[in-house]
Amino acid sequence: MTRMSSIATPDAERGPSNWVDRLPAAWRPYARLARFDRPIGSWLLFWPCGWGLAASGGLVSHWWLLPLFLIGAVAMRAAGCVYNDIVDRDLDRSVARTRSRPVASGVISVRRAWVWLFVLAICALPVLLALRPLAAGVALGSLGLVAAYPFMKRITWWPQAWLGLTFNWGALVGWTAVAEPSWAMVSLYAAGLFWTLGYDTIYALQDIEDDALAGIKSSARALGDRARAGVAGFYAVAVALAAAALWRVRPDPLTLFALLPAAMHFGLQVASLRDHDPARALRLFRSNQSAGLLIFAACVVVAT
């Protein structure tokens, strides 16, 4: 097996669903640098866009924005991952799960990584141009958050909170694409922030020992033995804030039942969580693709 074909990280998708392994050998490092072999991140970026579009009442009239948001989420998540790996290449070499990443391992040079980042950003440009000016301006406002994120693990124990601010920005974009800003929009965005605090704390449990050795800060390390309780609290606040947002859209007691499937999903995650089981942590983290879909379904039911 050549060096070029042996750089998949341990948390990459396996089996038939991983089309990256079937690419020509020269293309695989670029696909892996963009995390195309780990699609969960694109879904976690996409679903808040769908929440905002659906909860604002624009899903039917502006249905074509949903596939555009998916394209934008894939492209921008990929660009963000390339940028993150450029900045974190030295830290990545000190963590077992990340030392085989293309830039950290030297398979792709920093210069070529910057070129790849530019290409991915250009792919997202048509999505930006399709938005009305208010939403396009809001979308551009996320760039500062994206640029600062890789440095957060060096300066705060809660980089997951910054990731929450960044990854859920799509809720603001989706809402303002069809409606004016409102407190319901703010509540929905805040719900996403706490959702991310929950699922990314679970994700960070995979690296807690290596992170300690490398001096990388995370919510999992900050919470320690209280990680499970912390995740439960984050998810509870996320559901409460999502309920507040949907209540503002439709103040009806039945509105709250729309979030029951998502709340049950979060409860099952917490019940299954084990602090020292990396494989389970990765599986539970990935299950948040379904959690995002369930919240989206609640937004559709309430606002349509």
Q: Split the chain (304 residues) into runs of 10 and give each run's mean pLDDT.
A: 49 70 92 93 98 97 97 96 94 84 94 97 94 97 94 92 97 98 98 98 89 84 94 98 97 93 98 88 96 98 94
Q: According to the model, what pLDDT value does residue 5 have? A: 42
40 and 289 in contact (C-beta within 8 Å)?
A: yes
- Each domain of the chain, given as residue ranges in start order, spans 27-303
Q: According to the model, what pLDDT value does residue 84 have? A: 94
- Cα dihedral value 127, 131, 135, 137, nearest 10: 70
Q: According to the model, what pLDDT value does residue 274 have? A: 86
250 and 168 in contact (C-beta within 8 Å)?
A: no
Q: What is the DSSP letter of 255?
A: H
- Cα dihedral value 97, 285, 213, 160, nearest 10: 120
Q: According to the model, what pLDDT value does residue 9 have? A: 63
Distance CA 7, CA 99 (A): 9
- Spell out a b/e string for 166-190, using b for 16 or more CB atoms within 10 Å of the CB, else e: bbbbbbbbbbbbbbeebebbbbbbb
Q: According to the model, what pLDDT value does residue 216 have? A: 84
CA 152, 157, 163, 168 torsion: positive or negative?
negative
Q: According to the model, what pLDDT value does residue 14 have? A: 64
Q: Minimal CA–CA distance to 288: which of 264, 269, 261?
A: 269
Q: Minimal CA–CA distance to 206: which of 196, 219, 194?
A: 219
Distance CA 1, CA 240 (A): 50
Q: According to the model, what pLDDT value does residue 288 have? A: 98
- Specify the pTM: 0.92
Q: According to the model, what pLDDT value does residue 22 have? A: 87
Q: According to the model, what pLDDT value does residue 270 have? A: 97
Pick the CATH number of 27-303 from 3.40.640.10, 1.10.1750.10, 1.10.357.140, 3.40.50.150: 1.10.357.140
